[in-house]
């Protein structure tokens, strides 16, 4: 380091001593003009390139989030289809045995309300004075509302039929959680059932007059209408509705699902990935009877807007004329299926607006101020101007004293360079503190340029690595939350399971799904490959399976339906998933299973000291959509142990290349047949890890152990 200081100092001394006054003057003039031209050129070029880059990035992000919203929309439509189908089946069936039902007015009186009624933080209710309080709801019972003039006795059969939908309502709400606000079915006869159960309906309220009922009634299929105000909470909601038909194809009623606006807009995710100044919106158009069109805009603030003619304002929404004017440049670009961007003035700020379609008449919109783009070029231009002024001063001083004070000038210039070196150190300190925007804009034309060049190249790579690490950690946390958090409790059985991934995320999957009292579904699956792509496919199959298992049908039929849906998702990428699906009955002590390309589980009978495998025919899921699976059944004897592993256990190798194999696994099962399933599972996992002698295995490892008590 000391040698470099001496070398640079003598370099400056020699150049300054040889240089004459006239060349320095010429250099000063040329350098001054060149610096200004260079600064302006770089600033303009940076502005152009950065504008194009940010534009492309925001459009891509908009399309990605629109795809996420589309998937959420498809999931809601799938749930709505379940409600519609179950309602049509209930209406086509004889009325069930009458059960206790609760009408909306029962919920307004604690003496007549269901026993589980409680305040729900999800269902906030706005008062006329602007106050907010939590609404009381029941998650056990729905509420019924009769339209004005409808006699209770004339529609008793329909009330009993709709009351049979309560398990379906609960199942869907459990799957979606806080994403869903209300589930309901309204009939032409004037009967309305809603879940979770609640009161607070206005006098003479008739569901048949509500916009969502009229939309579905006029269109006949699933429809997403513009935002409306919920009748009981005054919250702004978005509704999907679908017509219900009887056996003759005549309209019997409408099913609907309400969503709160914040669950759709993803505002927090958008700001975390871009900037806090970026805003997200849902923008749509709705064709009304008579040929008029309503335009509507939703944000996460309470200033949500619906606009059109004065007669078309929906209920009591706050109208913001300036908002309508701000969005005026966007409307001509919203053609069906189109995405892109447009520059416009939004709330008095020059902004970049990008849009992507969610449906034919609904768009996801991001608006970012253009200052995000122009700030960096302006800083670059200012830096060059400051640099040019500094050069002028240096050259003016140098011209007067260059010959007599060359050594002194060299010393001063050396100190100036030392400051730049200190700025390099400052850059490293900023990087150490997590500021990845730092870059070194210094040039020396000597060995130090290698350090600067390496620094400027490595900073974005470090940022990418950190971002990827955080995203993988989040993906791991999400995937781990999908796996069972505890072992199930089933009379007559001990059951335990565990998954270990070779990367942050993986493709192995196991689950315990209660079907009804005394019946449990046990699932073990293995997606081809591992990593993020396998984790996404695993999550997709889990969602499909969780919804299908709780519906009626044989085990084979359930996997038929999951396979058909998965083939549509994987037909272009060729991914697939092996699965062993079993249902066990605590009363009958029997197991019904379906093999979808998965290795047969191992069954050990300690009384006979015999092993056998639960075999059966079956292709992997996602290979052939028309394949029909077969199910197999066997009676289980007390003491029998069933191990359902993925191939990551017996195919794992040690440093010598030797596979663990099924024989070692069987030996461990035989030696530990008397311990609990938790201890047996822990012993197997421990010995597998010890065998491979590595911190992480080469493949995902999953194991479920069952003992018949």
Whether the per-residue pLDDT at 46 is higher than 70: the answer is no
| Lowest mean pLDDT segment, chosen from 122-136, 316-330, 498-512, 524-538 | 316-330
| Lowest mean pLDDT segment, chosen from 231-245, 295-309, 368-382, 564-578 | 295-309
Please, which residues have CB within 8 angstroms of residue 76's CB and are 6 or more apart in sequence?
A: 176, 179, 180, 240, 257, 259
Q: Are strands 493-500 and 701-708 parallel, antiparallel or unpaired?
A: antiparallel
Read off the tokens for 23. Answer: 């060349």
Confidence of residue 478 (pLDDT cuts 50, 70, 90): low
% of the chain residues with pLDDT over 70: 71
**DSSP states of 216-264:** HHHH-S-EE---EE-TTT--EEEEEEEEEE-TTS-EEEEEEEEEETHHH
- Spatial contact of 484 and 511, defined as CB atoms under 8 Å apart: yes
Read off the tokens for 511. Answer: 């689950």
- Spatial contact of 216 and 254, defined as CB atoms under 8 Å apart: yes
| Lowest mean pLDDT segment, chosen from 42-46, 62-66, 302-306, 314-318 | 314-318
Residue 1's pLDDT is 43
Q: Could you read off the pLDDT of 246-270 as tens digits, one per residue?
A: 989 899 999 999 987 655 555 445 5
**Among 62, 82, 79, CA closest to 358:** 62
% of the chain residues with pLDDT over 90: 36
- Compute the CA torsion angle 452, 454, 459, 462 (nearest 10 deg): -160
Residue 336's pLDDT is 78
Q: Could you read off the pLDDT of 424-477 as tens digits, one per residue?
A: 667 677 766 767 677 777 776 666 677 777 777 777 777 666 666 565 555 556
Cα–Cα distances (Å) from 482 to 123, 519, 660, in that order, read: 26, 21, 28
Cα–Cα distances (Å) from 199 to 27, 127, 231, in that order, read: 85, 15, 10
Q: How long is the chain? A: 709
Average pLDDT over residues 19-37: 62
Please, which residues have CB within 8 angstroms of residue 527's CB and are 6 or more apart in sequence?
A: 507, 508, 509, 534, 535, 537, 538, 541, 575, 576, 577
Confidence of residue 47 (pLDDT cuts 50, 70, 90): low
| Lowest mean pLDDT segment, chosen from 34-43, 642-651, 673-682 | 34-43
Average pLDDT, the chain: 80
- Compute the CA torsion angle 171, 172, 178, 182 (nearest 10 deg): -110
Whether the per-residue pLDDT at 377 is higher than 60: the answer is no
Whether the per-residue pLDDT at 278 is higher than 90: the answer is no
Q: Could you read off the pLDDT of 576-620 as tens digits, one per residue?
A: 999 999 999 888 889 999 999 999 999 999 999 999 999 999 999
Report the C-alpha gap between 145 and 201 in whole angstroms.
9
- Spatial contact of 66 and 358, defined as CB atoms under 8 Å apart: yes
Confidence of residue 317 (pLDDT cuts 50, 70, 90): very low
Residue 657's pLDDT is 87
- The model's pTM: 0.46
Average pLDDT over residues 77-93: 93
Q: Could you read off the pLDDT of 196-220 as tens digits, one per residue?
A: 999 999 999 999 999 899 889 888 7
Residue 413's pLDDT is 60
């Amino acid at each position: 380091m000391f040698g470099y200081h001496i070398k640079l100092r003598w370099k400056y001394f020699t150049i300054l001593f040889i240089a004459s006054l006239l060349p320095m003057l010429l250099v000063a003039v040329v350098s001054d003009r060149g610096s200004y031209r260079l600064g302006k050129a770089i600033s303009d070029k940076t502005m152009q390139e950065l504008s194009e880059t940010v534009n492309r990035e925001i459009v891509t992000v908009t399309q990605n989030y629109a795809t996420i919203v589309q998937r959420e929309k498809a999931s809601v439509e799938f749930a709505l289809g379940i409600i519609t189908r179950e309602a049509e089946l209930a209406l086509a069936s004889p009325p069930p045995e009458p059960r206790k039902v609760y009408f909306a007015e029962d919920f307004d009186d604690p003496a007549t309300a269901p026993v589980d009624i409680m305040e729900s933080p999800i269902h906030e209710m706005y008062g006329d004075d602007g106050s907010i309080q939590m609404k009381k709801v029941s998650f056990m019972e729905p509420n019924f509302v009769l339209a004005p003039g409808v006699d209770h006795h004339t529609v008793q059969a329909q009330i009993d039929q709709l009351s049979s939908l309560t398990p379906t309502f609960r199942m869907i709400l459990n799957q979606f959680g806080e994403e869903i606000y209300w589930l309901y079915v309204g009939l032409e006869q004037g009967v309305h059932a809603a879940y979770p159960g609640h009161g607070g309906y206005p006098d003479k309220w008739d569901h048949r007059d509500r916009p969502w009922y009229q939309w579905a009634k006029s269109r006949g299929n699933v429809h997403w209408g513009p935002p409306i105000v919920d009748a009981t909470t005054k919250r702004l909601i978005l509704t999907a509705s679908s017509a219900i038909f009887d056996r003759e194809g005549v309209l019997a009623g409408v099913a609907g699902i309400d969503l709160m606006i914040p669950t759709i807009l993803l505002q927090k995710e958008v700001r975390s990935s871009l900037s806090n100044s970026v805003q997200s919106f849902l923008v749509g158009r709705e064709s009304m009877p008579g040929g008029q069109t309503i335009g509507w805009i939703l944000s996460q603030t309470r200033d949500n807007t619906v606009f059109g003619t004065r007669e078309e304002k929906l209920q009591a929404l706050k109208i913001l004329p300036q908002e309508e004017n701000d969005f005026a440049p966007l409307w001509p670009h919203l053609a069906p299926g189109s995405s892109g961007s447009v520059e416009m003035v939004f709330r008095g700020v020059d902004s970049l607006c990008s849009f992507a379609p969610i449906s034919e008449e609904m768009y996801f919109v991001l608006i970012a101020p253009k200052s995000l783009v122009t700030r960096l070029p302006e800083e670059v231009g200012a830096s060059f101007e400051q640099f040019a002024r500094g050069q002028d001063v240096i050259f003016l001083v140098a011209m007067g004293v260059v010959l007599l004070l060359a050594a002194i000038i060299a010393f001063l210039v050396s100190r100036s360079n030392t400051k730049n070196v200190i700025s390099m150190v400052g850059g490293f300190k900023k990087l150490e503190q997590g500021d990845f925007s730092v870059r070194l804009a210094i040039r020396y034309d000597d060995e130090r340029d290698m350090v600067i060049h390496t620094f400027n190249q490595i900073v974005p790579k470090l940022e990418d690595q950190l971002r990827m690490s955080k995203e993988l950690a989040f993906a791991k946390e999400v995937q781990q939350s999908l796996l069972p958090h505890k072992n199930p409790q089933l009379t007559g059985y001990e059951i335990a399971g565990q998954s270990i991934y070779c990367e942050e995320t993986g493709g192995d999957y196991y689950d315990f799904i209660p079907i009804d009292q005394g019946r449990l579904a046990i699932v073990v699956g293995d997606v081809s490959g591992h990593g993020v792509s396998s984790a996404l496919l695993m999550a997709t199959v889990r969602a499909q399976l969780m919804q299908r298992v709780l519906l009626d049908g044989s085990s084979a039929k359930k996997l038929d339906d999951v396979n058909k849906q998965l083939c549509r998702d994987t037909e272009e990428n060729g991914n697939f998933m092996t699965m062993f699906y079993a249902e066990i009955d605590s009363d009958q002590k029997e197991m019904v299973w379906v093999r979808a390309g998965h290795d047969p589980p191992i069954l050990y009978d300690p009384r006979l000291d015999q092993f056998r495998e639960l075999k059966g025919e079956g292709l992997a899921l996602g290979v052939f959509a028309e394949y029909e699976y077969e199910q197999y059944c066997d009676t289980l004897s007390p003491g029998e142990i069933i191990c359902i592993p993925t191939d990551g256990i017996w195919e794992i190798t040690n440093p010598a290349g030797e596979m663990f194999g099924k024989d070692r696994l069987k030996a461990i099962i035989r030696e530990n047949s008397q311990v609990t399933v938790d201890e047996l599972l822990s012993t197997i996992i421990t010995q597998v890890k010890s065998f491979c002698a590595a911190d992480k295995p080469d493949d995902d490892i999953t194991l479920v152990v069952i003992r018949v008590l």
